[in-house]
Amino acid sequence: MNTQSSNMPGSFEAQTVGPAALSATRPLYWSVRRELWENRSIYIAPLAAAAVFLVGFLISMIHLPQRMRALSTLDPAHQRQAIAMPYDMAAALLMLTAMIVGAFYCLGALHGERRDRSILFWKSLPVSDLTTVLSKAIIPIVLLQLLSFAITVALQFIMLLLSTAVLSASGGNVATLWTQLSFFHMSLGLLYHLVTVHALWYAPFYGWMLLVSAWARRAAFLWAALPLLAIGAFEKIVFNTQHFVALLENRLNGGAEAMTMPGTFPMDPMTHLTPGNYLISPGLWLGLAFTALCLAAAIRLRRYRGAI
**Any alpha helices (H) in the chain, and if so which ranges?**
2-22, 26-38, 41-60, 64-71, 76-115, 119-123, 129-138, 144-170, 174-180, 183-193, 203-215, 220-239, 243-253, 275-279, 282-304
**Where in the chain are the domains?**
26-304
What pLDDT, on the 0 to 100 scale, is given for residue 12?
Answer: 43
pTM summary value: 0.84
The model's pLDDT over 18-67, given as tens digits with 9 standing for 90+, comes to 444 446 688 888 889 989 998 999 999 999 999 999 999 999 888 887 88
Distance CA 258, CA 238 (A): 34
DSSP state of 271: P
pLDDT of residue 252: 85
Higher pLDDT, residue 254 or 126: 126
Flag whether pLDDT at 260 surpasses 50: no
Q: Is 253 exposed, middle or buried (0-12, 13-18, 19+ CB in 10 A)?
A: exposed
The residue among 138 and 256 whose pLDDT is bigger is 138
